[in-house]
Amino acid sequence: MAEVKTPSAPASSRRPLSPHLDIYRPMLTMMMSIAHRITGTALYVGTLLLVWWLVAAATDAKSFSVISTFLASIIGRVILFGFTWALFHHLMGGLRHFIWDTGRGMDHPEREYLAQATLGGGIILTILVWVIAYAVR
Amino acid sequence: MFNESHSLRTATSRVRYLGAARSGTQHNWHMRATSIALVPLTIGFVWLVLSLIGKDYATVRSTLGSPVPALLMLLFLGTGIFHMMLGMQTIIEDYVHGAHSKHWALLANTFFCVVIGLACVYAILRISFV
């Protein structure tokens, strides 16, 4: 079990700690757990872009052309690509949680496969959507 | 922090009623319910956005303003923004421990989500009806 290292610390802060990030060796399952939170936070911030787009569409053609031009630029496309990946990665992570909710998929090989499927599924769906996006453009 | 050595109260008395707020199950259930709803809604949202790529202003407006896409957007945004408010609440509770900073962060989270949510709903309704 982990402990606070400074011996001079008062008794109240020398109590045992739960193992945390500095102590665990990096593993895929743990990385996918962290990625779930990071993609969730990215989507949270990303709603600003969505609200900008919708409010511009509700305002007038001029406001709409400003956001359309921004989204079509290189920076805009990189942000949208990241947004797409965050959305699909978080969706895959959510599906993994549904499987866990049934009590399945927590043992050794299964949880590794699920972590790989989360990562792979998110990347494949992102590429698929962008291929469709360029095809229908 | 409270100085334990100067207190006449017992340890049990000090911690009694300071435990779980007994709202964890409801939070978890809301998270699960919104997650389930967001699977089809997200697929619908992505499909809708793909259908709007490269379209001009008038077409985007008429599509977003027609009943099925507008309802889809309202459901996706309402469910998604409630889901993200719950998620950010958990992140704040996990990482922000200061008595004041935690409550300010939770308040900011609620305000952000309400403002974003209302702005999106207002925009969809305006596109639909104006």
The mean pLDDT value of chain B amounts to 91
Choose the mutation target among B2, B4, B50 for the interface with A, i.e. most A CBs under 10 Å.
Answer: B50
Predicted confidence (pLDDT) per residue in B47-68, tens digit:
999 999 989 999 999 999 999 9
Q: Give this prediction's pTM.
A: 0.84
Q: Report the top-level CATH class of A36-136.
A: mainly alpha
For residue B115 the two structure tokens come to 């403002």
From A133, which residue of chain B is nearest by alpha-carbon distance? B50
pLDDT confidence bin for B13, thresholds 50/70/90: confident
Burial class of residue A127 in the structure, from the number of CB atoms within 10 Å of its CB (0-12 exposed, 13-18 middle, 19+ buried): middle
Rg, Å, chain A Cα set: 21
Q: Report the top-level CATH class of B23-129.
A: mainly alpha
Q: With an 8 Å Cβ cutoff, are B50 and A61 in contact?
A: no
Q: Give A17's strand partners.
A: A2
Predicted confidence (pLDDT) per residue in A104-127, tens digit:
988 888 899 999 999 999 999 999
CA A113 – CA A119 distance, rounded (Å): 10
Which residue among A54, A101, A136 places its CB closest to the CB of B124? A54
Let me know: does A99 contact A115? Beta carbons within 8 Å: no
Q: What is the ipTM score, two decimals? A: 0.83
Q: Does A129 touch chain B (CB under 8 A)?
A: yes
How far A61 CA lies from chain B's nearest CA (Å)? 6
Q: Which residues contact A32 (CB under 8 A, 6 or more apart)?
A: A93, A96, A115, A118, A119
What does the domain layout of chain B look like in residue ranges?
A: 23-129
Type of residue numbered A126: T
Residue B84 half-sphere exposure toward CB, CA atoms < 13 A: 26
Residue A124 half-sphere exposure toward CB, CA atoms < 13 A: 7
Q: With an 8 Å Cβ cutoff, are B46 and A87 in contact?
A: yes
CA B74 – CA A71 distance, rounded (Å): 22
